[in-house]
Amino acid sequence: MPTVLHLIKSADAALARTVIEQHVDAGDRVTVALLPGGAAPALPPGVTLRRVGSDLSYTQLLDLIFQADQVLTW
């Protein structure tokens, strides 16, 4: 099961949501890391949402990046 990390830093995450839905449908393990200024889209069930600076430090974010098979930045 590939691990996918979406980094969202923009206010418009509509396309990101569509891609996230496809990842989930494909059975990927998806984590969304919301950067300051980013807007969290409505996420499908099963997606883990982490907020950088709140419940996720930058050190932990770096760990997530290296653990992921794919990282997409929006």
- Binding residues (CB under 8 A) for other proteins: these are 2, 4, 7, 9, 14-15, 18-19, 21-23, 26, 35, 37, 65, 68-74
Neighbours of 21 (CB within 10 A): 15
Element (H, E) at 30: strand 29-34
Polymer length in residues for the chain: 74
Q: Which of residues 43 and 68 has its CB atom nearest to other proteins in the complex?
A: 68
Buried b (16+ CB within 10 A) or exposed e, 35-61: beebeebebeeebebbebeeebeeeeb
**CB of 33: closest distance to other proteins in angstroms?**
11
How near is the Cβ of 49 to other proteins at its closest, in Å? Answer: 18
Q: Which is nearer to other proteins, 49 or 72 (CB)?
A: 72
Shortest distance, CB of residue 35 to other proteins, whole angstroms? 7
